[in-house]
Amino acid sequence: MTKAELLEKLDFKKGNGLIPVVVQDAQTRETLMLAYANREAVEKTLSTGFATYWSRSRGKLWVKGETSGHTQKICSVSADCDYDALLYVVEQKGNVCHTGAATCFHNKLL
């Protein structure tokens, strides 16, 4: 599927213009984070090869690692069966979490 075809199939309507993006480390396959993307963020991710998201709290695009240097180079992008969620497999540079943790999923509940 081409980038243009993928973009046309993505269902941004379900999430009021946003779709969740699960991010996985290319080497370890560990789940790194969950973020959200609008169409513009996905387009920028596909065109630059680096993960770009929509910040719900700031109301603007953000490129992962833009200020910290902890970038996410895209290895692959996949959509789920309903085309309303994405999986980014990335080469993570540095820690992913703003707390300094290697993954955002470090708070064990069970």
Please report, in tens digits, the pLDDT of each residue of the chain (110 residues total): 788 888 999 999 999 999 999 999 999 999 999 999 999 999 999 999 999 999 999 999 999 999 899 999 999 999 999 999 999 999 999 999 989 899 999 998 98
CB-facing half-sphere around the CA of 55: CA atoms within 13 A: 8
Is residue 70 within 8 Å of residue 96, measured between CB atoms?
yes
Q: How many residues does the chain have?
A: 110
Q: Where are the domains of the chain?
A: 3-92
Candidates 3.40.50.11540, 2.60.40.420, 3.10.20.810, 3.40.50.300; CATH matching 3-92: 3.10.20.810
pLDDT of residue 1: 74
Q: What is the pTM of this model?
A: 0.94
Q: What are the backbone dihedrals phi and psi of residue 62, each rounded to the nearest 5 degrees, phi first? A: -145, 135
Query: 19: burial class by Cβ within 10 Å (0-12, 13-18, 19+)?
Result: buried
